[in-house]
Structure 1
């Protein structure tokens, strides 16, 4: 009798453990949430299973990269493809893996990486070099009024500001930096642009309320972010630079940003120094001009990162009105013109002044 009771006890215990194990595994390998939240995930070519797990964990679509690795090995999943994937936080690990396996055998797939801070000219060069589109085709699409108006209707952050005839490039600032995968080299320019704008919209979604509540329009925020992108490389510097610009705008000072002067005369930064005439060139981008007091340039000067956009929306409060960088990219902030000039003098005396 006692032996029978022990057997029944062990069977019951095993059943309880099994149920608990099923619940635990279902939770661990199940969806992160029941709510629908799309997340773009980029899996570069040559990424290992462990690295894919780390990318998915960072994107908050799985709970553990280690458990993901165990699942892949346990079920002998095999090869997972490299591409841009739109995943959802309500997807299970199995569903995610099935998505990653789609189109993983396309030998004609192309990958284009658009780096943070590139401008439209660089975008055109990349598209022409990586696809079968020619220079004229890309430029024509970028200025197609019918296409631009369709974008205004589709995306909340694109407004009629992009139709301003003074803009060098209507979509400057909106072509979101990232790595993108396309089916083959015959991809159309419109497909590339839409994919980049869709990525921009997804990353702006958590910031939308703040942007709409701002005293500045989405166009103005992106414009200022594009300047901050080129003026500072580190997050902390960008946060301070953003507030310097707001301080200057509130005091009706001009921004005095050299990067806007370069863009205004179509000279690339690091290409060469500008002449005095170029620094004083009367164009709608040049924030060094006296008539630009309290004003932003007519539009963005590059395609900024999310980091710079966040800095623009959430600047670090300070009392600085000036900043300057040395050739090591260290940025010095100051509250007065006198302090600013002394810092410049010190930088030059140390031989750390930037020259091209």
Structure 2
């Protein structure tokens, strides 16, 4: 009797053990399945989401297969139950187990938003509005009100942010991005202003920013920036009008159709440097670090004029006669193209 009972217990143990190892094997195989996605996918896990609910979400999206053993996963792998809330990026090379461990790690996906140098604040607003991963708090808010929210004591925000790529996690707001961009701009501007050349015709770092924005719009050639700067600094020192087309375009606003006509050069706007003396009242674009540096460290030159060379750069001149010859050469080159 005892032998029979012992035999039955052994058989029962083997059955239980066999069942356990079978279930364990099935669960492990299930966790090892690759995600059925062909490109990176974004998934958001809300606070309090259980492992079973997260698995159901993936099944509903057809990213994984279903299994009758789903409810046992948290028992056999309790370490997978500690899901973190957040937004995560799943990639095609991931297995289900790797995806779950990513969520457990709490390493949220870093989204990126890029602003290019020379862009305007109106363009920034469009980029922010069209980003689906930002929290939008500025829709319908005026520029002056945005300035107040940022603690900026100006009505216009043109030029007051540093154009570059900013990374953020899901739920960051459009205002958060602007705060970061304004702080970074101020850090660079303060550093450059403190080590500026002496004797510049600039009364404040804000005027330096205005000049930098003009330089930004005049050239994309890196080694020309300090030459362009020297022309404007020389003209300011001689009380000559800057006569720079980008300021005219900015002052024209929505009336600009891609062409500047003679009447536009004579139209009185606060930004038309063919009409006004000195700098315009605000920057005309977002300047990058190189243009800020150039505005505060111009070349020592006698140049007073420049015109496009037709080859991507500019021809610099010291006299009006030289400049007129360079203009004629440029126009001839354009006609021959």
TM-score under structure 1 length normalisation: 0.59
Per the alignment, residue 94 of structure 1 pairs with: none
Q: Render the CA deviation track for 1:77-103: whole Å, top value 9, x for unaligned.
A: xxxxxxxxxxxxxxxxxxxxxxxxxx8
Pick one of 302, 310, 315 that aligns with 2:298. 315
**Deviation of the 1:203 alpha carbon:** 2.9
Sort the Cα spacing of 1:274 and 1:323 in 2 relative to 1 into closer, same or farther, 3 A: same
Per the alignment, residue 28 of structure 2 pairs with: none
Per the alignment, residue 243 of structure 2 pairs with: 256
* Alpha-carbon distance in structure 2 between the residues aligned to 1:138 and 1:146: 14
* Alpha-carbon distance in structure 2 between the residues aligned to 1:353 and 1:204: 43
Per the alignment, residue 321 of structure 2 pairs with: 338
Alignment of 1:211-230 (within 5 A): 215-230=202-217
* Alpha-carbon distance in structure 2 between the residues aligned to 1:262 and 1:274: 7
Sort the Cα spacing of 1:203 and 1:243 in 2 relative to 1 into closer, same or farther, 3 A: same
Structure 1 residue ranges without an equivalent (≥5):
1-44, 46-102, 153-159, 164-169
Sort the Cα spacing of 1:346 and 1:208 in 2 relative to 1 into closer, same or farther, 3 A: closer
**Paired residues, what number?**
232
Q: Render the CA deviation track for 1:175-234: whole Å, top value 9, x for unaligned.
A: 1011101212x4323211111112223333532423597642011000000000011112
Per the alignment, residue 172 of structure 2 pairs with: 187
* Alpha-carbon distance in structure 2 between the residues aligned to 1:114 and 1:125: 11
* Alpha-carbon distance in structure 2 between the residues aligned to 1:122 and 1:173: 12
SS in 2 for 1:332: strand
Sort the Cα spacing of 1:131 and 1:141 in 2 relative to 1 into closer, same or farther, 3 A: farther
Structure 1 residue 198 corresponds to structure 2 residue 183: yes
**Deviation of the 1:142 alpha carbon:** 3.1
Checking the alignment, whether the CA contact within 8 Å between 2:196 and 2:296 is kept in structure 1 is yes
Structure 1 residue 118 corresponds to structure 2 residue 105: no
**Deviation of the 1:128 alpha carbon:** 1.0
Per the alignment, residue 95 of structure 1 pairs with: none
Per the alignment, residue 276 of structure 1 pairs with: 262
**Deviation of the 1:141 alpha carbon:** 5.5
**Deviation of the 1:279 alpha carbon:** 2.5
SS in 1 for 2:253: coil
Checking the alignment, whether the CA contact within 8 Å between 1:128 and 1:134 is kept in structure 2 is no
Checking the alignment, whether the CA contact within 8 Å between 1:232 and 1:238 is kept in structure 2 is yes
**Deviation of the 1:131 alpha carbon:** 3.9
Sort the Cα spacing of 1:227 and 1:304 in 2 relative to 1 into closer, same or farther, 3 A: same
Sort the Cα spacing of 1:125 and 1:201 in 2 relative to 1 into closer, same or farther, 3 A: same
Structure 2 residue ranges without an equivalent (≥5):
1-39, 41-104
Sort the Cα spacing of 1:146 and 1:228 in 2 relative to 1 into closer, same or farther, 3 A: closer
* Alpha-carbon distance in structure 1 between the residues aligned to 2:292 and 2:168: 26
Checking the alignment, whether the CA contact within 8 Å between 1:138 and 1:189 is kept in structure 2 is no
Over aligned residues, Cα RMSD in angstroms?
Answer: 3.0
Sort the Cα spacing of 1:187 and 1:212 in 2 relative to 1 into closer, same or farther, 3 A: farther
SS in 2 for 1:255: coil
* Alpha-carbon distance in structure 2 between the residues aligned to 1:211 and 1:182: 33
Per the alignment, residue 107 of structure 2 pairs with: 105
Sort the Cα spacing of 1:146 and 1:251 in 2 relative to 1 into closer, same or farther, 3 A: closer
